[in-house]
Structure 1
Amino acid sequence: METNKPSCCSASRPASEQPAALSDVFISVEPRAKEGMVLIPGGKFLMGTDDREGFPADGEGPVREITLKPFYIDPCAVTNAEFKRFVDATKYKTEAEAFGWSFVFHLFVSEATAARVQNKVQQTPWWWVVEGADWLHPEGPDSHVEERWDHPVIHVSWTDAMAYCQWAGKRLPTEAEWEFAARGGLNQKRYPWGDELKPGGRHMCNIWQGKFPDKNNQSDGYAGTAPVTAFEPNAFGLYNVAGNVWEWCSDWFSPNYHVKGKKDNPIGPPAGDTRVLRGGSYLCHRSYCNRYRVAARSKNTPDSSTGNIGFRCAADVE
């Protein structure tokens, strides 16, 4: 398998661009922060993969034994409804709103909005720069999440996710915590449920079916995002850790830091240009980007937002 194909979520904001304004970071902690979270007991597990299906250039391998202390993690990605409660309480403006635009997948843009699109990503032309696209208007100003309150919030940057976590009294999971929780206790399996993508012909996650990037036959029931509790949870009770939306982790991204990095509660490199994304999305397809595997990794700049990036929260055990 080729190792240099970009991820389906590789659209990033230009480094020279700055947002018009961002809300101050605040501390307005939600009560009962850990209510409904899953307690992950911690312990040792084999992280990463040397699978031939993987992308070595992403730093998926080598397989290494990692030790983690117990932690909490949300069973689901943060929903539009939950993010709205945060925005209503704090008046927070996302980076997509501050910049005035975000990346939207081309098939979701209305004819009226498409007529105003002036920029597309050269390497990944299915990503269009859509003015007025944000978490509340995911396909542009003529769209709304009104029928998708139980879907994962999208068009949120790493910075936005961190602001939500601070308000909620939580944090983003480390990459190691995310993978440990996503594996659900299984050892070195390709997916959160085992090694077969569709056991018994049953769809287990929301990914692309058809010919990417122009034809999606939606045989799993969804073209874009699915509700956060769609499909079966893994053995730890976590939903949609494969497909649906990419999820931000706290770590800076590096393809090789982990080779010599610490193996006891690792937190990633001390600095970097991009943050880690895990889990794949509804755009992942075997022919192009099979990063819905549990060991797969991706990255993006902390200020970038797209129509297939969300997050879930973690918390310390006190």
Structure 2
Amino acid sequence: MKKFTQILMLLVALSVLFSCSSNQKNREEVTPPEGMVFIPAGDFSMGGKTVQADRDEFPRNEVELAGFFMDETEVTNRQFQAFVEATGYVTIAEKDIDWEVLKKGLPPETPKPADSLLKAGSLVFQATDGPVNLNYESQWWKWTVGANWRHPFGPGSNLEGKMDYPVVHIAYDDAKAYAKWAGKRLPTEAEWEWAAMGGLDDPVYPWGNVAVDNATDKANFWQGLFPYENTEADGYLNAAPVKSYAPNGYGLYDMAGNVWEWCQDKYHVEAYSQMSEAEQLVNPQGPRSSFDPMEPYVEKFVMRGGSFLCSDSYCSGYRVSRRMKSTRDSGFGHVGLRCVKDL
């Protein structure tokens, strides 16, 4: 009996050794496409983990994911320009607004705005003169006719010296179009959060658990008093060139701050409760429908990662679990994208 037990233990040990060697070999054989990194399969607890977490980050769910590839950086102006030159694509911010389409997502009886406000443009950040009520975002977002990815701050601005900066003023539909052209897709929320963690054990931020006050060398976000005083302790007032800060454990840059990144999932305030009702959370694709109680008439999609405007006083978007949302035609001066690709 003792000899049989010893043989059994030896077989188990050999099996484990073979399995580990096989997994290591498979990982070594995975060659990511140019500009992408391999994100291994795994499982994790998805959702809020600090007192800063919002209600839409709960309840936490155990999620299992297959491996995939992810762009090592946010899509840059250089990359997006190549897409436009190859296809002739025109972004939403470069098109006049169709009032008949727009009003379908607004409360009934909403009056039509002046025609001058329906001209092609986008929202550009403008610092306030002093402290303001942070519940009213219109105080620092200015609708700017002529603002788009080519002119990020409006007419008179351009991309000179900024080809390696993340492209901005990108709406959800623009992001989907680029991803399709590149032979990729947008990440699911679950994929994005898993990748942002960089292999760490349930971190608050992509760089770990070092508080943001001591992390100005780790990401591009707002330091000082939002939205009127930015000390630029991280070196940048607005967006930074990609790879300006160290990557996370998977080799991904700017998974915190710089610009928000679109995910493929529809936004639903109760999405995580819906996930909890599922029998198996393997490669979840998000809710079937969208609902935001703040704007119940419009369909919204998820954004992740935060931007250069995030601060703890307003938006702790650099947390790996933080969710943001907007309509598919929304463009902002701090919104871009990053793509993934299936193995």
TM-score by shorter chain over 0.5? yes
- Pick from 152, 158, 167: which aligns with 1:153? 167
2:126, 2:214 → 1: CA distance? 33
Alignment of 1:1-318 (within 5 A): 34-56=33-55, 59-99=56-96, 100-107=120-127, 123-198=137-212, 202-261=216-275, 262=278, 263-272=281-290, 273-317=299-343
User: Do the aligned residues in 1 keep the contact of 2:57 with 2:272 (CA within 8 Å)?
Assistant: no
Shift, 1:154, TM fit: 0.1
1:308, 1:168 → 2: CA distance? 22
3-state SS of 1:160 partner: helix
Considering fraction of residues, name the structure with more helix.
2
Shift, 1:258, TM fit: 2.3
1:140, 1:200 → 2: CA distance? 34
Larger Rg over CA atoms = 2
Shift, 1:196, TM fit: 1.2
User: Do the aligned residues in 1 keep the contact of 2:32 with 2:38 (CA within 8 Å)?
Assistant: no
Q: Which residue of 1 aligns with 2:11?
A: none
Identity of matched residues, %? 46
CA displacement, residues 49-83 of structure 1 (integer Å, 9 cap, x when unaligned): 24112122xx1122221001111110100000000
Shift, 1:288, TM fit: 1.3
What CA RMSD, in Å, does the superposition of the two structures yield over aligned residues?
1.9
The letter for the 1-side match of 2:302 is V
Q: For structure 1, which segment, 174-183 or 32-41, has the greater mean C-alpha deviation from structure 2 after superposition?
A: 32-41
1:309, 1:46 → 2: CA distance? 26
1:133, 1:77 → 2: CA distance? 20
3-state SS of 2:261 partner: strand
CA displacement, residues 125-175 of structure 1 (integer Å, 9 cap, x when unaligned): 100000000001000010001111100000010000000011100000000
2:236, 2:187 → 1: CA distance? 27
3-state SS of 1:154 partner: coil
Gaps of 5+ in 1: 1-31, 109-120
User: Do the aligned residues in 2 keep the contact of 1:33 with 1:170 (CA within 8 Å)?
Assistant: no
1:33, 1:202 → 2: CA distance? 30
Q: TM-score, normalised by structure 2?
A: 0.76
1:237, 1:33 → 2: CA distance? 12
Q: Which runs of 4+ in 1 moved over 6 A?
A: none
The letter for the 2-side match of 1:95 is I
2:90, 2:61 → 1: CA distance? 40
3-state SS of 1:182 partner: helix
User: Do the aligned residues in 2 keep the contact of 1:245 with 1:308 (CA within 8 Å)?
Assistant: yes
1:47, 1:69 → 2: CA distance? 15
Aligned residues: 272
Shift, 1:211, TM fit: 1.1
Shift, 1:292, TM fit: 1.3
CA displacement, residues 249-278 of structure 1 (integer Å, 9 cap, x when unaligned): 000001212223241110101122100000
Q: Structure 1 pair 123/225, CA: closer, same or farther in 2 (3 Å)?
A: closer
